[in-house]
Amino acid sequence: MLNPQQLEAVHYLGGPLFVLAGAGSGKTRVISEKIAYMITRAGYAPHSIAAITFTNKAATEMRERVSALLKGKQSKGLSVSTFHAFGMRLLREEARHAGYKRDFSILDASDSGSIIAELSDGGGRESLFRTQQQISRWKNALIDPEQASASAQDGWQVQTAQIYADYQAVLQQYQAVDFDDLIRLPVCLLQQSSELRVKWQQRLRYLLVDECQDTNTCQYLLMRLLSGAEGMFTVVGDDDQSIYAWRGADMENLCRLQQDYPQLKIIKLEQNYRSTARILRLANGLIANNPKLFAKTLWSQLGEGDAVRVVACQNAQHEADYAAQQISLYKLTRGEKGRYADCAVLYRGNHQARLFEEALRAARIPYRVSGGQSFFDKAEIKDVLAYVRVLANPDDNPAFLRAATAPKCGIGAAALGKLNAYADEHACSLSAAAEMAHHIWADAAGKSMRAVAGFAELLRRYRHRAAREDAGTVISDLLRDIAYQDYLYRQADSPRAAENRWRNVCDLADWLARKGAEDGKNLLELAQTIALMTLLDGKNEEEHDAVRLSTLHAAKGLEYENVFLAGCEEGIFPHADSIDEGRIDEERRLMYVGITRAKRHLTILYCVKRKHRGEWLFPEPSRFIGELPQSELQWFGRKGGEPAISKAEGKARLSGMLAALEQKIAANKHRT
To the nearest 10 degrees (0 to 180), the angle between helices 316-333 and 647-671 is 30
CB of 601 to Mg ion, least distance (A): 20
- Out of ligand ATP, Mg ion, none, what residue 274 binds, judged by CB under 5 to 8 A for its kind, is ligand ATP
- Out of ligand ATP, Mg ion, none, what residue 24 binds, judged by CB under 5 to 8 A for its kind, is ligand ATP
CB of 53 to ligand ATP, least distance (A): 10
**Pattern of binders to ligand ATP over 227-246, x per CB under 6 A?**
-----------x--x-----
CB of 552 to Mg ion, least distance (A): 15
Contacts of residue 41, Cβ cutoff 8 Å, sequence gap at least 6: none
Which of 5, 25, 300, 352 forms a contact with ligand ATP (CB under 6 A)?
25
CB of 225 to ligand ATP, least distance (A): 26
Could you tell me how far CA 451 lies from the centroid of its own chain?
A: 39
To the nearest 10 degrees (0 to 180), the angle between helices 471-481 and 523-533 is 90
Residue with Cβ nearer Mg ion (237 or 305): 237
The residue number whose beta carbon is nearest to ligand ATP equals: 26
Query: How many C-beta neighbours within 10 Å does residue 151 have?
Result: 11
CB of 558 to ligand ATP, least distance (A): 8
Which of 12, 44, 129, 273 forms a contact with ligand ATP (CB under 6 A)?
273
Is residue 394 within the footprint of Mg ion (CB under 5 A)?
Answer: no
- Residue 579 to residue 585: CA distance in whole angstroms: 10
Q: Count of residues for the chain? A: 672
Q: Are strands 615-617 and 610-612 parallel, antiparallel or unpaired?
A: antiparallel
Helices of type H across 558-610: 576-580, 584-595
- Residue 188 to residue 363: CA distance in whole angstroms: 53
CB of 18 to Mg ion, least distance (A): 14
Residue with Cβ nearer Mg ion (302 or 584): 302
How far separated are the first and last CA of the chain, in Å rounded?
A: 39
Three-state helix/strand/coil letters over 5-40: HHHHHHHCCCCCEEEEECCCCCHHHHHHHHHHHHHH
Residue with Cβ nearer ligand ATP (24 or 394): 24
- Out of Mg ion, ligand ATP, none, what residue 227 binds, judged by CB under 5 to 8 A for its kind, is none
Single out the segment in contact with ligand ATP by CB under 6 A; choices: 20-28, 35-43, 151-159, 287-295. 20-28
Beta bridge partners of 300: 272
Nearest to 406 by CA among 385, 431, 435: 385
Is residue 82 within the footprint of Mg ion (CB under 5 A)?
Answer: no
CB of 215 to ligand ATP, least distance (A): 14
Residue with Cβ nearer ligand ATP (6 or 352): 6
- Out of Mg ion, ligand ATP, none, what residue 23 binds, judged by CB under 5 to 8 A for its kind, is ligand ATP
Is residue 27 within the footprint of ligand ATP (CB under 6 A)?
Answer: yes
Residue with Cβ nearer ligand ATP (6 or 48): 6
Is residue 60 within the footprint of ligand ATP (CB under 6 A)?
Answer: no
Radius of gyration, alpha carbons of the chain? 27
Residue with Cβ nearer ligand ATP (26 or 567): 26
Residue with Cβ nearer ligand ATP (1 or 648): 1
- Residue 591 to residue 574: CA distance in whole angstroms: 9
- Residue 584 to residue 521: CA distance in whole angstroms: 45
Residue with Cβ nearer ligand ATP (6 or 105): 6
Which of 5, 25, 28, 622 forms a contact with Mg ion (CB under 5 A)?
28
List the catalytic residues: 27-28, 210-211, 241, 597
CB of 236 to ligand ATP, least distance (A): 7
The answer to whether 24 is a known ligand-binding residue is yes
Beta bridge partners of 565: 346, 604
Torsional class of 276: left (φ above 0), alpha (ψ -120 to 50), beta (otherwise): beta
Is residue 23 within the footprint of ligand ATP (CB under 6 A)?
Answer: yes
Is residue 371 within the footprint of ligand ATP (CB under 6 A)?
Answer: no
- Residue 33 to residue 545: CA distance in whole angstroms: 27
CB of 273 to ligand ATP, least distance (A): 3
Our CA dihedral for 90, 92, 93, 96, rounded to 10 degrees, sits at 120
The answer to whether 26 is a known ligand-binding residue is yes
Is residue 557 within the footprint of Mg ion (CB under 5 A)?
Answer: yes
Taking a C-beta distance cutoff of 8 angstroms, is the pair 431, 459 a contact? Answer: yes
Number of H helices, E strands in the chain: 29, 19
Single out the segment in contact with Mg ion by CB under 5 A; choices: 23-31, 376-384, 493-501, 530-538. 23-31
The answer to whether 22 is a known ligand-binding residue is yes
Check the CA dihedral 598-603-609-614 and report its sign.
negative
Residue with Cβ nearer Mg ion (353 or 593): 593
The answer to whether 274 is a known ligand-binding residue is yes
- Residue 311 to residue 547: CA distance in whole angstroms: 20
Is residue 24 within the footprint of ligand ATP (CB under 6 A)?
Answer: yes
The answer to whether 596 is a known ligand-binding residue is no
CB of 253 to ligand ATP, least distance (A): 17
Nearest to 383 by CA among 395, 364, 401, 365: 401
CA atoms within 13 A on the CB side of 222: 31
The answer to whether 611 is a known ligand-binding residue is no
Is residue 274 within the footprint of ligand ATP (CB under 6 A)?
Answer: yes
Is residue 2 within the footprint of ligand ATP (CB under 6 A)?
Answer: yes
**Pattern of binders to Mg ion over 516-555, x per CB under 5 A?**
----------------------------------------
**Pattern of binders to ligand ATP over 590-609, x per CB under 6 A?**
------x-------------
- Out of Mg ion, ligand ATP, none, what residue 608 binds, judged by CB under 5 to 8 A for its kind, is none
Contacts of residue 275, Cβ cutoff 8 Å, sequence gap at least 6: 23, 24, 283, 300, 302, 305, 596, 598, 599, 600
Please return the burial class of 17, using the count of CB atoms within 10 Å of its CB with bins 0-12, 13-18 and 19+: buried
- Out of ligand ATP, Mg ion, none, what residue 53 binds, judged by CB under 5 to 8 A for its kind, is none
- Residue 474 to residue 384: CA distance in whole angstroms: 12
Compute the C-alpha angle 557/558/561, nearest 5°: 140
Binding footprint of ligand ATP on the chain (CB under 6 A): 1-3, 6, 21, 23-29, 238, 241, 273-274, 557, 559, 596
Bind-site residues for ATP: 21-28, 274
Binding footprint of Mg ion on the chain (CB under 5 A): 27-28, 557
